[in-house]
A and B are shown apart, each in its own frame.
Chain A
Amino acid sequence: MKAQAYLVPPSSHFLNSLVNFLLSHINFEDPETSGIYIILPTKRATLFLRHYLIQKINRKAFFLPKIQPWEDFLLETYIYLADNPKTLLPEPAKTLIFLRSVPQRNKLWEEPEKLLYWSSLFLEVFEEFEKEGRIPTNLLYPPEDLPLQARELFEDLRSTYEAYKKFQEKNGFLFLSEVLGELKACLSEKTDNFSFIKGLVMAGFVAFREAEKQFLAQLMENLDRLSTTVNFFFESQNPPPKLLQETLKGLGLPYEVLPQKFHERVSRKTRLHLISFSDGESEAYKVEEILKEAQISKPDEIAIVLPKSSTLMPLLPRLKDLSFHINITLPFPARVLPLNRWLILILKAQKERKMKAYPTSLFLQIFSFPLLRLFQRDYPLLEGLIKNIRDLSQKRRNRFITKEEIEENLEALYQDSFCLVYRILFENWENLDSPNRTFTALSSLLDFLWPFFERESETEEINFLLTRQFLAEIERKVLPLFKITSLWEELPPLEERFFYHLLESLLLSLELPLYGDPLKGLQILGFLESRLLSFKKILLLDVNEGALPPSTNLNPLLTDEMKTYLKLPIFKNELWDYYFERLLDSTDEAYLFYLETKKGRGELLGEPSRYVLKLQWLAESAKKNITKESIKLNAYVPKEVESIKKEDKDVEALIKILQENGLSRNALETYLTCPAKFYFSYLLDISPRDEISYEEKEMGRFIHKFFESFFGKYLHQPIRFTDILREAPWKEIFKKLWLSYHFEEKMDPLSVYLTRKIALASIEKYFLYLSSLESPQSDTNRYLESTITTGLEKRLEFMANPSLPIKPSINSVKFYGIIDWVGLRVFSDDQAFCLILDFKTGLNTKTGPKTLSKLIKSTPPETLGLDSLQLVGNLFGDNLCNFQLLFYLYLLNKNQNMILPGQWNGCFGINAAYVTITDFEKPEKLICEFDVKKSDSLRHFLENTFQDYLFWIVKHLLEEPEFHMIIEEPKCSYCDYKILCKTYRKKGEVDVT
């Protein structure tokens, strides 16, 4: 009996029309019905077909035909026909079989991890050949621009493929994607193959690859011999598109339009809405708006079709207030899951491990990963342990950290918890040089996660469900690979790094097959999943080039040019054109969302899809209106807050700070820079995120310590730098100090070498500069006679009584600071200057002598407010460059006897400078010249007006009703509290979690 094909218009409701046909041709009360096979392309279509069939069969009880997706049919048939079916392996095992099939010669095996990269690409090449029913051929002259490894693999393509298949044959392995090939082999051996099929319906297919066509031809021939009825149903108008015509011709199928009596409904025009949006939020917002008014009583009411599965994540939060269930059927990339990222970090730590020492930053990232806190209930000491380890590493600031170092310094209470967690996250993963060890490491982690998943097994929260699916995929697809011994025999010796790379590539490539219940609630599905289905309303998102039609997978081995060399077919977009048109024809109402973007400007999506442009053009030609809407950013953007209201409790806290702790130079500068930053830092006491290994800070500390040690040798003694340079006593001090800092534990060897060289050279250059001051200068004959150090790392403080009225009234305020160096510079003209030096590392450090002159002549503003604060800040120079030195001079003035007994009020001038020893040209940035007159006006300012400025700041601090947020780039970019501040500006509250 010859097969027959029917064309079913998509607008007639394909599946229901098919059901109508089946109802008139099948006796559903006869159990022979179970021998009728109805094969569809997707599992979802089979479920819907069964659902419609059940709805329409007007019987109390009946038998159903075998409704199967194509893949299941192939597998079942293969198992039926094969005497000893092969063992189905998970897809990732292909990589290992490929690797062992590659010739073990040349450079290919020098870097096995690179081979991993190539394996996935070459496996796609194999698959293309298999779909065409062909064996890959060697490419004698592969393109020159391909890397050497790829070229070598192409030259041996056939032998690699043959070795690949031979291994599978020998071990009885098979992959799901290769079942068709095996089936063909079985068919040739048996004649009475398909007697178990009492009738066959192939519904909803469009195009077949060569291998599928060959199988179908054989199947149809077999069934023809058995006089079994075979019918094909294609979703198409008449005449069918070119693609379908080729299929019909290839299968030798006569076709006719399905008689009208079987059509579920008459053809009608789809109501189309084109919605352009500017960003993902707007798109999701509009989707939510449409769905809010929806009622979903049947499974084919509404579907959201996502050509790009990444749109799922921004969409889901928008759907949480809907009353109906949501079913998701999409391949979801596992790499975005937190657990996957944690595993990748664990592997990265192993790759960067040196012996038993781990990079400190990675170590901390793994230990403080939020997922670990899920186990707080099972391991109550975890939180404390994490904090302890963090504190330890911040104290030591080493680049690498070992278990022993932590154990030595960890409190006894946390030792056991630490050992357990360390073993699971680090020790287990060390020395993964065999599949057994890899299996053990991965299994141990899964066993560790077990208590949580057992406890939460009823949870329906989406992140939990996704993580659970991810674990299931690891169990199904990754773990078993390491237990199949034949996969690992006779491979070249593999080092640890291979296993880390292998695991990493397996984890990153995992896609989670999410299956919901398609017969309930709102459906969210991928584009291809929508085949054959007819929904009343479709929301088709991301109708942009790159998504629809999709951009082809960038396999450099399967470009059009390569396919020509390999004689593989090149497909354009006919299939996508077909699917898009049938989707629109199948629905009553379609909303098409597309990103409005100019060519090449869309980051995630290309310009609006050609399908959208075609629809617009067709509508215009037919002078029909097509509903168009443009959604601009419709998300609610709250007005940003600009300040933090000051409460009474804040004022109380401030008074306490003033009277107990006092105000340091840093606190005052922070307030002048940004009162909100002051609030976060001093009132809320939020420590900024600290870098674990901050080389610049380490050098700064070292330089400070060096000068302290050096000048400490000469306290209260006059020195000349000319002598210092000649005798070089400082080099010994440098050497001892350098050794004591253990920089080799904090930096890589090259950085240690360079930093030492730079530090030595910088110090020498500075001393050279100072010694140059000891020679007569070109413009004057004046020169520096000697330098006397009178104080080092000196903490100075002063309890000052308010010089301005302040509310609430306060008795006094403590001001304090730590001065790096204070001493005297005695010049040849008998002028001596009291000098303060502050050592800095930043090359941009400067003072503002001109601004100082203005400041000296000014007085604090009469009013408070943000403008006044900024005015005062500006008076102290760019970035408050003069403030610190003036503050220290002020403190010094108030503590003269402590530092300079009897010497301050003499004919001494005063000065202060920042010292940046890496600035070879001008290491000292003085606040003013060594000039007595200028010095006098400075001293007068310090004794009188400066304190007024200090108390003006205090007054502002206490009396201003809010802590202003001063938003200025690029300062805000470098602020430790930028995220906190940003969050507060949007939410109006502080989130310190």
Chain B
Amino acid sequence: MPLNVMINSRPLRVLHQRTFSQRLGEILHFCLGSILSLRAFDPSEKEIQSLINKALAYHHEPLEDRVHLRDEASKILQNIQKANLWKDLQNLLENKFPIYRELEGYFGLEEKLLRPDLLAKGDREWLLLEFKLKEEQLNEEQLTLYCSFLKTIFPDHTIKVYAVIFQPPKLKFIKALSPTRDYHESPSLPRTTQLSLFK
């Protein structure tokens, strides 16, 4: 019987396993996530470049496409800032606080680890934003899962899910779930028996 070994394979450029688009998507995720979490809707060119550099710093090898990636990311972010998407995002995130980036959650009902791109708290409402480079990359099943996850934790809140598409820039509403029960306790402590965060 052959040896039953599990070694995680690294992606190989030879087999074109990590594409330019994937890398570009990761860079844009990082940049937009940073901008939105700080609600810095008027970043300067220098700040944008700094964010792109930070995103590129996560890619340890000096990519041949580094310059190209930087240029493309820069262009797309500029386009986004000029598009309606930008205004829509500002409006969406107005009065939302705090905003969390790439937090990790566990959904026991599905036994899955989840990492929604951006989560923003509103008045009895949670807003989830998922970033995608192109609309066809949207996975509605995944977004529904995020929705259910949040609903389980915050049954008394409205959960709204949006997709932020980079190319072409677009904000797409996916779904909303209404609250299931009325709660009178403070929304930051859904269970009164919980201790405050980390004494």
The stretch among B19-27, B81-89, B98-106, B171-179 that forms the contact with chain A is: B98-106
Q: Is A940 an interface residue (CB 8 A)?
A: no
Interface with B: A449-457, A929-937, A984-992, which one? Answer: A449-457
User: B57, A199: Cβ atoms under 8 Å?
Assistant: no
Task: Check B119 against A31 for contact (C-beta < 8 Å).
Answer: yes
A146 CB within 8 Å of chain B: no
* Contact between B197 and A64, CB atoms less than 8 A apart: no
Residue in A62, A89, A517 whose Cβ sees the most chain B Cβ within 10 Å: A62
- B131 interface contact, C-beta 8 A: no
What's the least CB distance linking B182 to chain A, in Å? 18
- Complex contacts, B104 vs chain A, CB 8 Å: 34, 63-64, 66
In the complex the two chains form, is A326's CB within 8 Å of B3's CB? yes
B103 touching A34 by the CB < 8 A rule? Answer: yes
B61→A476 contact, CB < 8 A:
yes
Residues of B within 8 A of A83 (CB): 50
Best-surrounded residue of B5, B61, B66, B107 (most CB of chain A within 10 A): B5
Q: Assess whether A599 is interfacial by the CB under 8 Å rule.
A: no
Q: Which of B128-178 contact A (CB under 8 A)?
A: 149-150, 152-153
- Residues of A307-338 contacting chain B, CB below 8 A: 316-317, 319-328
| Interface membership of A748, Cβ < 8 A | no
Of the 9-residue stretches A12-20, A461-469, A503-511, which lies at the interface with chain B? A461-469
Residues of A near B188 (CB, < 8 A) are 30
| Interface membership of chain A positions 83-108, coded 1 if the CB is closer than 8 angstroms to chain B and 0 otherwise | 11111111000000000000000000
Question: A90 near B61 (CB under 8 angstroms)?
Answer: yes
B4, B15, B105: the one within 8 Å of A453 (CB): B15
Known pairs A64-B104, A88-B60, A480-B61; A198 contacts B197 (CB<8 A): yes
Point out the residues of chain B lying under 8 angstroms from A475, CB to CB. Answer: 12-14, 61
On whether the beta carbons of A483 and B3 are closer than 8 Å, the reply is no
Residues in B with CB closer than 8 Å to A60 are 107-109, 152
Q: How far is the CA of A460 from the CA of B6 in the complex (A)?
A: 8
- Residue B7 contacts which of A176, A447, A465, A471 (CB distance < 8 angstroms)? A465
Question: In whole angstroms, how far apart are the Cα atoms of A465 and B152 in the complex?
Answer: 41
Contact A61 B153 (CB under 8 A): yes
Contact in complex: B190, A516 (CB < 8 Å): no
Pick the residue among A31, A454, A462, A468 that contacts B3 (CB under 8 A). Answer: A462
A 471-511 to B, binary, CB cutoff 8 A, 1 in contact else 0: 11101110010011000000000000000000000000000
* A820 at interface, CB cutoff 8 A: no
Of B13, B61, B194, which one neighbours A27 at CB under 8 angstroms? B194
> Does B184 interact with chain A (Cβ within 8 Å)?
no
Contacts of A454 in B (CB 8 A): 15
User: Which of B100, B108, B194 has a CB less than 8 Å from the CB of A61?
Assistant: B108
* Chain B residues whose CB sits within 8 angstroms of the CB of A670 once the complex forms: none
A-B interface contact total, Cβ < 8 Å:
184
> Contact: A320 with B60, CB < 8 Å?
no
CB of B75, distance to nearest CB on chain A (Å): 19
Identify the closest chain A residue to B102 (Cβ).
A34
- Asked if A472 and B191 make an inter-chain contact with CB atoms under 8 angstroms apart, the answer reads no
User: Out of A30, A63, A484, which one reaches B62, CB within 8 Å?
Assistant: A484
- Contact B198 A199, beta carbon cutoff 8 Å: yes
Beta-carbon contact of A61 and B109 below 8 Å: yes
**Once the chains bind, are A453 and B106 in contact (CB under 8 Å)?**
no
Determine the chain B residues whose CB is within 8 A of the CB of A477 once the complex forms: 61
Q: Is the CB of B149 within 8 A of A61?
A: yes
A84 cross-chain contacts in B, Cβ below 8 A = 49-50, 53-54
Q: Judging by beta carbons under 8 Å apart, are A327 and B108 in contact?
A: no
In the complex, which residue of chain A has the Cβ closest to the Cβ of B47?
A: A83
Q: A59-B108, A449-B14 are in contact. Are A87 and B5 (CB under 8 A)?
A: no
Q: Which residues of A contact B53 (CB under 8 A)?
A: 84-85
Contacts of A54 in B (CB 8 A): 106, 108
Give the distance to chain A from B188, nearest Cβ to Cβ, in Å. Answer: 7
Q: Does A514 contact B (CB under 8 A)?
A: yes
Residue pair A483, B64 in contact (C-beta under 8 Å): yes
Chain B residues with Cβ below 8 Å from A447 are 14
Q: Which of B4, B14, B191 contacts A324 (CB 8 A)?
A: B4
B196 near A27: Cβ-Cβ < 8 Å: yes
Q: Bound complex: CA of A29 vs CA of B185, how far in Å?
A: 15
Interface size class of B (residues with CB under 8 A): 35 or more
> Least Cβ distance of B97 to chain A in Å?
12
Contact among A63, A176, A319 for B60, CB-based, below 8 A: A176
Closest Cβ–Cβ distance, residue B158 to chain A (whole Å)? 16
Give A36 Cβ to nearest chain B Cβ, in Å: 6
Bits for B1-39, please: 1 = Cβ < 8 Å to A, else 0: 111111111111111000000000000000000000000
| B199 lies within 8 A of chain A by Cβ | yes
Docked complex: A15-48 residues within 8 A CB-CB of B: 24-27, 29-34, 36
Residues of A with C-beta under 8 A to B54: 79-80, 82, 84-85
- CA–CA, A184 and B56, complex, Å: 21
Q: How far is the CA of A244 from the CA of B104 in the complex (A)?
A: 33
Question: Nearest CB to that of A53 among chain B residues?
Answer: B106
**What are the residues of chain B within 8 A of A86 when measuring CB–CB?**
57
Q: Does B189 contact A (CB under 8 A)?
A: yes
In-complex Cβ contact of A468 among B5, B9, B100, B149 (8 A): B9
Known A-B contacts A87-B62, A88-B60, A316-B3; A27 and B195 likewise in contact (beta carbons under 8 Å): yes
CB of A520 within 8 Å of the partner chain: yes
Q: Is A57 an interface residue (CB 8 A)?
A: yes
At the interface, yes or no: A515 with Cβ under 8 Å from chain B?
yes
A316: B residues at CB distance < 8 A = 3, 5
User: Are A453 and B8 touching (Cβ within 8 A)?
Assistant: no
- Nearest to B10 among chain A residues (CB) is A472
Q: Roughly how many angstroms separate A326 CA and B7 CA in the complex, as a whole number? A: 9
**Given the complex of chains A and B, what is the CA–CA distance between A61 and B105 in angstroms?**
7
CB neighbours of B153 from chain A (8 A) = 29, 59, 61-63
A87 touches B57 (CB 8 A): yes
Q: Are A25 and B198 in contact (CB under 8 A)?
A: yes
Interface check A69, CB cutoff 8 A: no
Tell me whether B3 and A30 are in contact (CB under 8 A).
Answer: no
Instruction: Pick from B3, B58, B190 the residue with the most CB of A within 10 Å.
Output: B3
Of all chain A residues, the one with the shortest Cβ separation from B106 is: A54
**A64→B105 contact, CB < 8 A:** yes
Q: Is the CB of A325 within 8 A of B14?
A: no
Q: Check if A446 is an interface residue, CB within 8 A of chain B.
A: yes
B61 with A25: CB separation less than 8 A: no
A90:B5 contact, CB within 8 angstroms: no
Closest to A176 in B: B60
A521 close to B (CB within 8 Å): yes
How far does the Cβ of B33 sit from chain A's closest Cβ, in whole Å?
13
A440 part of interface (Cβ distance < 8 Å)? no
- 0/1 interface trace, chain B 46-76, chain A, CB 8 Å (1 if under): 0001100110111111101010000000000
CB nearest neighbor in B for A487: B62
- The answer to whether B198 touches A322, judged by C-beta atoms less than 8 angstroms apart, is no
CB distance from A464 to the nearest CB of B (A): 10
CA of A521 to CA of B189, assembled, Å: 39
| B189 pairs with A320, CB closer than 8 A | no
User: What B residues does A947 contact at CB under 8 A?
Assistant: none
The reply to whether A27 and B6 contact each other, CB–CB distance below 8 Å, is no
Q: Does A229 contact B (CB under 8 A)?
A: yes
Which of B4, B7, B13, B49 lies in contact with A322, CB distance below 8 A?
A: B4
19 CB-based A-B contacts, threshold 8 Å: A24-B195, A61-B106, A79-B57, A79-B58, A84-B54, A85-B54, A88-B57, A89-B62, A90-B60, A320-B4, A321-B1, A325-B4, A460-B5, A460-B6, A462-B3, A476-B60, A476-B61, A483-B62, A517-B6
10 shortest A-B CB distances, which residue pairs? A34-B103, A472-B10, A85-B57, A61-B152, A199-B198, A64-B104, A320-B3, A88-B60, A27-B194, A465-B7
Besides A29-B153, A86-B57, 6 other A-B contacts (C-beta < 8 A): A26-B198, A34-B104, A80-B54, A327-B5, A460-B2, A471-B12
